[in-house]
Amino acid sequence: MHFLAHLYLSGNTPSVLVGNFIGEIKTITDPTIFPKDIQNGINLHQLIDGFTNTHPAVQRSRKRLNPKFSKYSDTIIDVFYDHFLSVNWSEYNNLPLEKFALNSYRTLLDHQNILPYKAKCILPHMIKGNWLAKYNTVAGISQATQEMDIKSTKQTHIVLALEDLIANYSGFKQDFDEFFPKLISYVKVVDQFEGLYEVKETNLAIAG
pLDDT, tens digit, 9 for 90 and up, residues 112-152: 999 999 899 889 999 999 999 988 999 988 888 877 765 56
CB–CB of 92/200 below 8 Å?
A: no
Computed over every residue of the chain, the mean pLDDT equals 86
List all residues 6 or more positions away from 119 whose beta carbon is below 8 Å from its beta carbon. 21, 22, 25, 27
Across 5-21, average pLDDT: 92
Task: Please list the alpha-helical segments (H only) found in 65-137.
Answer: 73-87, 97-110, 117-129
pLDDT reported for residue 146: 78
- Per-residue pLDDT tens digits for 71-101: 889 989 999 999 999 999 999 999 999 999 9
Distance separating alpha carbons of residues 27 and 49, to the nearest angstrom: 15
